[in-house]
Structure 1
Amino acid sequence: MTLKDLNFLLLKTEKIKKEIHSLKYEDKDVRHSFYCLFFTITYEYYLGQVSYTLSKLMANERVTFHKEDNDFGNHFNRITQIAKNKLMEMVFFGTLNRNVFLNTWTAFELATSNIFNSMCAENKRNKIIIDINNKIVRAIKDLTEENKEVVIKSLTKSTFIPLLRKFRYLIDKNKYNRNYKKDLEFLTFVNAYRNCMLHSNGIYYGKDFVYEFKEVKYHFINQEMFSEMNYYPYVYWDMAFEIKNIFGSLLNCINHQELIEYKSKL
């Protein structure tokens, strides 16, 4: 990590701060909160890279401390281990990359879900749920109307609506200022990637597919560990900003002046 790299990361986070100050949403609005969360996530990534650089300098004895701080030496030496120990270095960067990617996706998922819950009327939401459960709906066609109603009510209360379904509902293609099809493909990839990382120790379950992001190829084969080729250090950082840019285009489709309160509910 060079000085140029750190300057680049710092500049990117400073631009996010300026973007936050230019927002016209209330502080409690989830649309405002997303950008604040994104700043925190990317700034933590930047601080992590600063910590690693400091670790290298300390390991090479290019950083010294005042003699009055010698008692902290046992703790400071732990920082140098990041640069000295290959396993610790790998774990450090793995955690850094994982956090910037997964935390950005979680912020996007949370914000999009809050917007959907505010924008989607109950009757339209129920229609989406019935569509998701169309096999069950067809299977109960021979029940009495009373029993059908019991099943439908149960479905509308308990069914989880996938994020991509919420995203598609909110999008107005006439107002969306990016390539909608490509963004949907990217979000589908990110969703699958996130599920592999969080829920199945890297094992993918689903239909086989290959996705390419900035020349990095990701292979997903059913019941196998996902793989990647042509990896470069900033790929997770770039994915995070891609998610952020998609969220910005999503907001172009939302004609809602009232407060959409930030709530931690997916």
Structure 2
Amino acid sequence: MSKVRPVNTGCRINAGGVPFTWLTGVDPEDSIRFLAQLAGAPSAENRVVDGALASIALHAAPSATAQLSKLAAPANPSRLREKAAFWLGAERGHEGLQVLEKLMATEQDKKLREKLVFDISISRDPAALQDLLTLAKSNADPNVRSQAIFWLGQKAGKKATATLTNAIENDPDQQVKKKAVFALSQLPKDEGIPQLIHVAQTNKNPIVRKDAFFWLGQSGDPRALTFLESVLKQ
């Protein structure tokens, strides 16, 4: 097998003249098990793995989450784990998020731990935002905090803004502070611009203030330009 591709029942398929047969009446549990075997096969090509994982994730059956969780477990190759974790966040709702939370708490691979932050950020479960806030505030790994802050910057809301400003003021890692300033620049302008101006005016760290000035200059927002003009005239 060289390719696996999920399609819905209304999708037209052009097989290029090659005959094919629709398999009907397949039990979802059998389908999930078969796809999991394909994804976990040591010799499977990447496009087979990717298609199989996507197809598992799109099943309605709860066992799809369990299979993705197994494929994301530490015993498997890194690429397979990363892809399985992505689909847990993208398609498996609250149960998928719970798996990601457990992985985040126990994962030893630093690179995968950073990628798990993105997987949490794309979950549509409401609890995902609180997870990001917690990671940004208190995770022991500064790279994880930076990633959480970055993805918080893509989300609007008072909680996100408060966490970013708290990181700017209180996080001990300089790179986390810089990431938080950048994240403010990614918020909707009515939320981010006033906060950037406040940072530029009041923060005691000259590097942080410099970054705030830079992103204000990049914003093109009239309030930012007015503020920058007032500073230049001083």
Q: Given the two structures, how large is their TM-score scaled by the length of structure 2?
A: 0.21
Which structure dedicates a bigger proportion of its chain to strand?
Answer: 1
Q: Given the two structures, how large is their TM-score scaled by the length of structure 1?
A: 0.19
